[in-house]
Structures are given as structure tokens and as C-alpha cells.
Amino acid sequence: MIQFECRLLRGLLGFICLLPMCMSAEPDLCGPLRTVRDSLNSTLRRRFMKMNFPINYTIQVHYEEVFRLRNISRLNTSNEDEPVQKRDLQDVWLLVSRQGIKRVLRVLPERHPTRRKYLSYLENLFRGFEALFNERNPRDEERDRPESIQNIFDRLEDPYYQGWKSVTPKSILDNSYRTMHCLFKECFSKEDDNYDYCEVLNWRKGKKTT
């Protein structure tokens, strides 16, 4: 009986020792997001989304798919009974980023180098991050989205919506890169970093890689 209790105690102690390792092995949002960030770096965006396209080449996207830092500011200050939460804006970022990549993929030939060597891989990164994000941060099903956010989703999901805008393929990923830093800044800023990733003027000044 005593030997059994000793073995049980040793097993329990072993489990307790392994528990921190198991917890640290859980997928972390910032790790996959930094991988997305690295794949959105300015060198790759310029090479695959600008140099591989004709000069002044544009595609048609919905107005709501041009999601920039100023759009975040506008949504944050919208006058609503229920304020916009960061999760609402992060959901918009994920939807718009995936939609933008799909827009570009639709116009590319199957053997186009941007499709084969870059965008297909990037699309899989976004899909994987979105699945992890939703798993770790499940939505409150009892809470309705604010009207300004729901309008964006409704328009993007409406097959008859005709609000179109011409943009360059590179600008789609430029906007995704910058708004990502604003909406997930805890993954990119350091403790001593006072840089405001959501400030439009800071990006224009070129203080960070754009």
C-alpha cells in the first residue's frame, strides 16, 4: 500500500513538473502573427506585389476592403450605443486581408510567380492564424456587432453590392501590414517602446518598416 502511494506521489509530482512545459507548448497568437508579419515585409511586398505586375496595374475591390489606419480611428470614434471593441476591428482585419488576397489570386494565371511563390503561401498563413485566433478568442454569441462593423460584413457578403474601388495589389498588403501592427500591437511593441502603431503620421514619417 505504501509503495503504491509512493508511486502515485511520484507520478503526480512528475505531472506537475511537466505541466509548465505542456502549457508553454500551447500555440501562442503572437508567434504565428509574427510569421505573418515576416511574410508581409516590405521587400516581399515590393518584389511580388509590385515588380511582378505591370506599371500602374490596379484591381477592383470593395470600398470596405480598403481598410487603413484612418478607418480604425473612424470606427473607434463612431457614435454608437455600444462602442466598437478591438475584437470587432480584428475580425474586420482578418476578413479584409483574406478577401484582398483572394482578389489578387483571381486575376493571376496559375503559373504566375506571385501566386506560386508568395500569395498561396500567405493565404494559408492567414487561414491558419484565423483558425487559431477564433479558437483562442471565441466570440460572444450573445453580443451583436456594432452597427458600423456589421455594415462592413453585410456589404462584403452581399453578392450584389457595387461599391468598387481601384487599388494596386501592393496597397492591399501594405494596409494589412500597418493595420495589423495597430490592432495586435502587443505582439510587436516592447516594454520600452512608446511608438504608436495606430498613428497615421508615424507611418508617414517612416519610423517603422512599411
Using the predicted structure, report yes or no on whether residue 208 has a pLDDT greater than 90: no
What are the angstrom distances between the C-alpha of 25 and each of 21, 28, 50, 129?
6, 8, 38, 16
- With 70 as the cut, is the pLDDT of residue 44 above it? yes
Q: Distance of CA 26 to CAs 22, 47, 86, 128, 135, Å? A: 7, 34, 23, 15, 12
Cβ atoms within 10 Å of 89's Cβ, excluding its own: 19
Q: Which residues contact 38 (CB under 8 A, 6 or more apart)?
A: none
Could you report the per-residue pLDDT of 129-168, keeping only the tens digit for each?
Answer: 999 999 998 888 878 889 999 999 999 999 899 999 999 9
Largest CA distance in the chain: 81
User: Residue 61: which of 92, 124, 107 has the closest Cα?
Assistant: 107
Nine-digit cell string for 119: 500569395
pLDDT for the residue numbered 78: 76
Distance CA(45)–CA(31), nearest Å, equals 21
Handedness of CA 151, 157, 162, 165 (dihedral sign): positive
Residue 21 has pLDDT above 90, yes or no: no
Predicted pLDDT of residue 81: 72
Better pLDDT: 197 or 96:
96
Quick check: 25 pLDDT over 60?
no
Domains along the sequence of the chain with CATH = 27-204 (1.20.1250.80)
Q: What is the average per-residue pLDDT within 30-46?
A: 94
- pLDDT value for 18: 36
SS3 40: coil
Q: Determine what percent of the chain is predicted with pLDDT higher than 90.
A: 64
pLDDT at 41 (0 to 100):
94
pLDDT of residue 40 exceeding 60: yes
d(CA 9, CA 135): 34
Q: What is the pLDDT of residue 99?
A: 95
Residue 140: φ, ψ to 5°: -80, 105
pLDDT range class, residue 114, cuts 50, 70, 90? very high
Pair 203, 178: CB distance under 8 Å? yes
Residues 6+ apart with CB under 8 A from 183: 72, 86, 89, 90, 93
pLDDT digit string, tens, across residues 54-88 = 999 999 999 999 999 999 999 988 766 778 999 99
The owner of cell 519610423 is: 207
Neighbours of 200 (CB within 10 A): 15
The model's pLDDT over 159-206, given as tens digits with 9 standing for 90+, comes to 899 999 999 999 999 999 999 999 999 898 765 566 778 887 777 665
More confident residue, 7 or 204: 204
